[in-house]
Amino acid sequence: MKKILVANRGEIAIRVMKTAQKMGIKTVAVYSTADRNAPHVRFADEAVWIGESPSNQSYLLGSKIIEVAKELNVDAIHPGYGFLSENAEFAQEAERNGIIFIGPKAKAIEIMGSKLAAKDAVMKYNIPMVPGVDHAIIDIDEAKRTATTIGFPILIKASAGGGGKGMRVVEKENDFESQMNRAISEAVAAFGDGSVFIEKYVAFSRHIEIQIMADSHGNVLYLFERECSIQRRHQKVIEEAPSSVLSPETRKKMGEAAVLVAKSCDYLGAGTVEFLYDENDNFYFLEMNTRLQVEHPVTELISGVDLVEMQIRVARGEALAIKQEDLEIKGHAMELRVYAEDPMNDFLPSVGHLDVYQLPVGEGVRVDNGFEQGMDIPIYYDPMLSKLITYGKTREESIQLMLKAIDGYKIEGVQTTLPFGKFVFEHEAFRSGHFDTNFVKKYYNGDVLKNQKAKEAEIAALIALKQYFEDQKILRLPN
């Protein structure tokens, strides 16, 4: 493998290229009009324009990307995450053209891409699942009967996708019909498929995911868990590894269950198996993500492995160089996704110009970044600027490093999730480890930050006033 095309943009494109270059592999970037001056374009050995700014005219053009790969004699394509990373057709087309797809085979992507097919595949392994239906529903009357049988609160979920789209929690029967209609229309808009399914809503749950890696020689590893319970709109904002609530016994059980999920679809490469974990130490299979996750750095830091390097080695047919017993957890890592969003206004995207953009540095601080000062944030893509990751010997040390690093960011021109991150990392519920997926609903609203900002401004004004009077005294001193 001498040359890899990275079919992505931003921080993940640079992240993949760094490892490829470390392995002596040349890299090719692709870019849209909006990204023509982006850092990932300059970072690569070669770069090719693939279309206009909207992703359906550039980053989602699988055939165009494969055409570019063939023209430049590319050996493999790394899809990153998002865009074409879980597109079975794209994986298949790459293979048909003699290009290695750095990810699982199309069949595994297809099975795990449908939440219902995934549940069906793992059922024979006796892996616990949340009570619910085992088929897609579009008919509202049937859905209502099912919901009543399961018992409220229930969760409506789009069968064809994730990322919180087409997902609705319904607390009572009266709200069911309107929420069902909204879930279906969201699912159609996001995935072109309105089928949904219904399952019991586990109210006080944690969102725990297990990182797995599988080679083509029958070996599957689990690289421990990530805690992903701090979410807004069912999407993760903060992740950590390991979780503060899992016992070694539960960790082993969940890890072994994740390995069975991988085996159920003859998996290859890096993948993540997601579970719900309740207050009674029960866990339930949710879904499998057939790609590298946004939050993979926290796993890399506690396990001491480079997951992208493992992906590349496995894709070129190598057997995994480590065994399960070689892996151990060392230290604790935290990640904050730094989005250009306004946490004081319901996390709405905050597009604009990065007038100031300076990143924190220091021991135990890692920033996976895709932007630089002076750039505009395009409206066409996910608004994530960078990921702030900290690593310490203990959870407490990692939190303290995170708070210091948040203060080390200097961003002007757009609103970001940094103040929200600070709020979470300082909150007693988070620091004590006693929280669940309802953290934002329970403890946070935009007014909290507005009041905090007003207090900070008041204190700053008082300090400035005090300094003014001190300066006046000095000026009035006789010669």
- Residue 389 included in any domain: yes
Contact call for residues 300 and 306 (beta carbons, < 8 A):
yes
335 and 440 share a domain?
Answer: yes
Residue 305 pLDDT > 90:
yes
Burial environment of residue 458 by CB neighbours within 10 A (0 to 12, 13 to 18, 19 or more): exposed
Place of tokens 């905050």: 350
pLDDT 10s digits, 370-416:
999 999 999 999 999 999 999 999 999 999 999 999 999 999 999 99
State the DSSP H helix or E strand holding residue 365, giving kind and residue range, or none if neither: strand 365-369
* Measured distance CA(223)–CA(209) in Å, rounded: 10
Q: What secondary structure letter does DSSP report for 59? A: T
pLDDT 10s digits, 214-271:
999 999 999 999 999 999 888 899 999 999 999 999 999 999 999 999 999 999 999 9
Residue 357 pLDDT > 80:
yes
Across the range 318-334, mean pLDDT stands at 98
194 and 228 share a domain?
Answer: no
Least confidently predicted of 53-62, 127-136, 277-286, 309-318:
127-136
- Spacing of C-alpha 216 from chain mean position: 26
- Residue 98 included in any domain: yes
- Residue 225 included in any domain: yes
248 and 344 share a domain?
Answer: yes
* Measured distance CA(2)–CA(20) in Å, rounded: 9
Across the range 171-178, mean pLDDT stands at 91
The boundaries of the domain holding residue 342 are 205-446
pLDDT 10s digits, 59-80:
999 999 999 999 999 999 999 9
Task: Give the CATH number for residue 175.
Answer: 3.30.1490.20
Residue 162 pLDDT > 70:
no
Torsion of CA 367, 379, 450, 164, to 10 degrees: -80
Q: Provide the percentage of residues in the chain whose pLDDT is more than 90.
A: 75
Question: Max alpha carbon distance in the chain (Å)?
Answer: 92
232 and 250 share a domain?
Answer: yes
71 and 195 share a domain?
Answer: no
Higher-scoring residue by pLDDT: 83, 473? 83
Per-residue tokens: 17: 């290229």
265 and 341 share a domain?
Answer: yes
Q: Total structural domains in the chain?
A: 4
Whole-number pLDDT of residue 478: 62
442 and 456 share a domain?
Answer: no
Instruction: Using the 3D structure, point to which of 149, 168, 200 is the last residue of a domain.
Output: 200
211 and 189 share a domain?
Answer: no
- The residues with which 158 forms a beta bridge, in sequence order, are 196
Per-residue tokens: 406: 């948040």
Instruction: Using the 3D structure, point to which of 82, 102, 122 is the last residue of a domain.
Output: 102
270: nearest Cα among 213, 314, 313, 317: 213
Residue 156 pLDDT > 70:
yes
Whole-number pLDDT of residue 468: 74
225 and 140 share a domain?
Answer: no
Q: Residues 206, 226, 232, 291: which is the catalytic one?
A: 291
- Residue 173 included in any domain: yes
Whole-number pLDDT of residue 43: 98
221 and 189 share a domain?
Answer: no
pLDDT 10s digits, 410-469:
999 999 999 999 999 999 999 999 999 999 999 998 887 777 766 666 676 777 777 777
- Residue 355 included in any domain: yes
- The residues with which 336 forms a beta bridge, in sequence order, are 238, 388
327 and 475 share a domain?
Answer: no
Instruction: Using the 3D structure, point to which of 102, 122, 152 is the last residue of a domain.
Output: 102
Higher-scoring residue by pLDDT: 474, 346? 346
Annotate 228-244 with DSSP letters as a single string: EEEEETTEEEEEEES-S
- Residue 416 included in any domain: yes
Higher-scoring residue by pLDDT: 64, 200? 64
Task: Give the CATH number for residue 94.
Answer: 3.40.50.20
Whole-number pLDDT of residue 479: 57
Whole-number pLDDT of residue 457: 64
Across the range 21-50, mean pLDDT stands at 98
Contact call for residues 260 and 239 (beta carbons, < 8 A):
no
- Residue 114 included in any domain: no
Task: Identify whether 291 is a catalytic site residue.
Answer: yes
Q: What secondary structure letter does DSSP report for 322? A: S
285 and 434 share a domain?
Answer: yes
- Residue 183 included in any domain: yes
Contact call for residues 26 and 45 (beta carbons, < 8 A):
yes
